Structure 1
Amino acid sequence: MQVIIESYQRDRPRNFFECGRRPIDNWYKNNSKKCFDRVEYRVFEAIFPATGRVVGYYALQIGNESMAALPSKPADYTKNYTAFPAVHLAFLGVHRECQRKGVGTALLSDVFDKVYQISEIAGMYALTLQSYDEESTAFYSSLGFEPYSDSKASPKMLMPIRTIRALVEGE
């Protein structure tokens, strides 16, 4: 399914959006406008070109994570850090009717491109996310994300920026 990824537009209808995971649906329907306006998140939407309908979205934040959260500290330059800088993929949802049709892959590809661009102007260690359940954990693991928390059902996961840069530069 071909989609166009665009920056969040306040006037797009959102009440119909349903990915099947209530917290992800509710945040998009009820909180995305105010969080976007307050610049707490940058939100991007996957649009179906024929109708202009939103079929997916993601939201990014910048922050840091405690090195103590990592089960095994990397043996690289971060060994003396107390926290590592990261871009956090706070939300990603694909409308039920469009799941398993390439929309999630298109959204993540755009996430990687945006994170790469950020890494060109600001330092960071990784892209992080909080997996929602075992199914999403398996999906993110298949893409190369690694868990870094003890939770088996919904772990915090990361992909080092070096990996993302190599992926984007290799495209």
Structure 2
Amino acid sequence: MLTDNISSFLRINSNFQFKSFDCGDEDLNDFLLNDSQKYYDNLLAVTYILENTKETVAFFSVLNDKISISDSPSKSFWKEKVSKKLPFTKRYDSYPAVKIGRLGINKNYQGKGIGTAILDYVKTLFITNNRTGCKFITVDGYNNPKTLDFYIKNGFNYLLSNKKSDEEPTKLLYFDLAIIKNSLNDNKIE
């Protein structure tokens, strides 16, 4: 595994007892320790954690989302990036997605590839264990170079890229799960 004494991802519930956690971002720390169980109880998001014997190493939350025409900068963008690539004639104004609502890595473990491993886990999960249909992964990445570079490095693309979005605290990014699914299909041995 990535670090010593880390168990697999645990899904939190209403009674989950958290171990210490500090990722250096008070908003993310507060979400995990004070809000994640409320989101779970109200069916808004599910949070998973990675921990070792003494502390929480990382966490992420996922929730349902969609990408729609109104999210994209133009209809031509929508047609080029989304609907043109689909093999059927019926076109929709939106397509199903899962949003990574929060993702945090404990300061003691940052820079060790855990964030990328989490994104790979989520991508694989929604390809192999997709129960309802999910075409995209979305994230509202903090609008700072370190965060945005992390998502771009992991295959995400900007959905909006304009002056208005440059001034927002977050930027909407997406990952098309068809990339992985097609790659898996190409590598199947018959």
Instruction: Report the TM-score when normalising by structure 1.
Output: 0.84
Counterpart residue number, 1:68: 70
Find out whether 1:18 has 2:46 as its counterpart: no
Find out whether 1:123 has 2:133 as its counterpart: yes
Find out whether 1:159 has 2:175 as its counterpart: yes
CA contact under 8 A between 2:123 and 2:177: conserved in structure 1?
Answer: no
Structure 2: runs of 5 or more not aligned: none
Counterpart residue number, 2:55: 53
When structure 1 is superposed on structure 2, of 30-39 and 103-112 the one drifting more is 103-112
Spell out, residue by residue over 1:72-117, the C-alpha distance to the aligned partner (whole angstroms, 9 max, x if none). Answer: 1122339942222111111110011110112222322221222223
The residue type equivalent to 1:68 in the other structure is: S
Query: What's the % identity of the aligned pairs?
Result: 21
Selected match of 1:110 from 115, 118, 121: 121
Count of residue pairs brought into register by the alignment: 166
Instruction: Report the TM-score when normalising by structure 2.
Output: 0.76
Spell out, residue by residue over 1:116-147, the C-alpha distance to the aligned partner (whole angstroms, 9 max, x if none). Answer: 2343x322221111111321110110111001
Work out the CA distance in 2 between the residues paired with 1:166 and 1:13.
38
Work out the CA distance in 2 between the residues paired with 1:122 and 1:115.
10
RMSD: 2.3
Shift of 1:63: 2.2
CA contact under 8 A between 1:5 and 1:107: conserved in structure 2?
Answer: no
CA contact under 8 A between 2:126 and 2:134: conserved in structure 1?
Answer: no
Work out the CA distance in 1 between the residues paired with 2:177 and 2:117.
19
The residue type equivalent to 2:41 in the other structure is: D
CA contact under 8 A between 2:96 and 2:134: conserved in structure 1?
Answer: yes
Work out the CA distance in 1 between the residues paired with 2:10 and 2:145.
29
Counterpart residue number, 1:81: 92
The residue type equivalent to 1:70 in the other structure is: S
CA contact under 8 A between 1:137 and 1:154: conserved in structure 2?
Answer: no
**SS at structure 2 position matched to 1:85:** strand
**SS at structure 1 position matched to 2:36:** helix
The residue type equivalent to 1:104 in the other structure is: G
**SS at structure 2 position matched to 1:87:** strand
CA contact under 8 A between 2:36 and 2:46: conserved in structure 1?
Answer: no
Spell out, residue by residue over 1:45-66, the C-alpha distance to the aligned partner (whole angstroms, 9 max, x if none). Answer: 0112xx1521110001112232
CA contact under 8 A between 2:59 and 2:105: conserved in structure 1?
Answer: yes
**SS at structure 2 position matched to 1:155:** strand
Question: Which structure has the greater CA radius of gyration?
Answer: 2
CA contact under 8 A between 2:22 and 2:106: conserved in structure 1?
Answer: yes
Structure 1: runs of 5 or more not aligned: none
